[in-house]
Amino acid sequence: MKIRLATIVCTAAAIMATTVAAHAQTVLKWAHVYETSEPFHTDSVWASEEINKRTGGRYKIEVYPASQLGKEADINQGLKLGTVDIIISGSSFAARDYKPIGVTYFPYIFRGPEHLIAYTKSDVFKRLAQGYEDKTGNHIAAVSYYGTRQTTSNKPIAKCADMQGLKIRVPDVPAYLAMPRACGANTTPIAFAEVYLALQNGTVEAQENPLTTIEAKKFYEVQKNIILTGHIVDHLNTVVSKTLWSSLSDEDKKIFGDVMQEAAERTTKTIEGRENKLIATFKEKGINVTEVDKSDFEKTVAEKVAFEDFGYEKSDWEAIRAIQ
């Protein structure tokens, strides 16, 4: 009888312990707008599993890809509303709350991905990221390379002036619009999901995106030319909400930060590797891939676009340009 009673007590204790552990687990939502095949998603899943492991199962992070919790503007708003805890998003959206951080989208500010990554380790980045955090409470935990934005078009483009009158789809973000408008193009803000059809039916004649996006969205099927304008070296931030970040212990902040940084480095490596192979891939498909004199584009932008139009500080631009 005593043995049976002891067994019952032990079983009850085990059930209670399991129940307490289950109640102790915090479930978090991580949202982004990218497809499940892209490293922004696969590395987010890796990070969520790694955080779960390193915190002894105290955090379960559910990753919602492909705009399942809303478009990029929606998930940024979700950080404020508490409907999401972690997002992957560009600095163009962070700049809606803190304009100076958007300077990183000024055309030709970065020489390439290595320069971008060097910036993310610099004092100027720390200052801009802190300015964003002071304004919103949200914490930028990591930055990954998204790709260098290039142009696709139905007609050949060799110099900035060749874009005069060109109907081009560009995201409705001031810094993205700067180069095409400086070159005289007619910009059109079409929803990302509708770009392929817009190119196919001639609503627009051109668009701009990194090579990896041009491949993933198959824009090369409806465009004859890829022009390597390299006008923006783009990036994405991994952002933790004010509510979540302020609730974490210093130990957990380190775990979240370390894992998210490792995930961003994995993503950056993958994107760079893909980009390096894609030019040859596109040429094999019969696409006309053209190098251009970037200095011609950069000179035109410098002459026609003012920092004051964006709320950026020229001193930040100069500091970033000087990073080696």
User: pLDDT by residue (tens digit) across 281-316?
Assistant: 999 999 999 999 999 999 999 899 887 777 788 899
Look at residue 172 in the predicted model and tell me its pLDDT: 84
User: pLDDT by residue (tens digit) across 255-274?
Assistant: 999 999 999 999 999 999 99
Nearest residue to 237 (alpha-carbon basis) of 147, 143, 110: 143
| All structural domains of the chain | 26-322 (3.40.190.170)
Least confident of 165-179, 236-250, 299-313: 299-313
Structure-token pair, residue 140:
């930028």
For residues 94 and 239, give the distance between their C-alpha atoms in angstroms, rounded to a whole number: 9
Q: How many CB atoms lie within 10 A of CB 142?
A: 24
Q: Which helix (H) or strand (E) holds 230?
A: strand 225-240
Whole-number percent of the chain with pLDDT over 70 = 93
Mean residue pLDDT of the chain comes to: 92
Distances from the Cα of 79 to the Cα of 4, 25, 30, 84, 244, angstroms: 52, 21, 10, 6, 9
User: pLDDT by residue (tens digit) across 89-142?
Assistant: 999 899 999 999 999 989 999 999 999 999 999 999 999 999 999 999 999 999
User: pLDDT by residue (tens digit) across 179-231?
Assistant: 999 999 999 999 888 999 999 999 999 999 999 999 988 999 999 999 999 99
For residues 265 and 243, give the distance between their C-alpha atoms in angstroms, rounded to a whole number: 26
Look at residue 17 in the predicted model and tell me its pLDDT: 44
Contact predicate 263/143, CB 8 Å: no
Look at residue 7 in the predicted model and tell me its pLDDT: 52
b/e per residue 161-190 (b: at least 16 CB within 10 A): ebbeebbbbbbebbbbbbbbbbbebbbbeb
Alpha-carbon dihedral of residues 215, 221, 224, 229, nearest 10 degrees?
-20
> Which residues, other chains included, contact 220 with Cβ-Cβ below 8 Å and sequence gap of 6+?
152, 214, 226, 282, 285, 287
pLDDT at 12 over 60: no
Q: Identify the band that residue 11 occupies on the pLDDT scale cut at 50, 70 and 90.
A: low
Choose between 185 and 11: higher pLDDT: 185
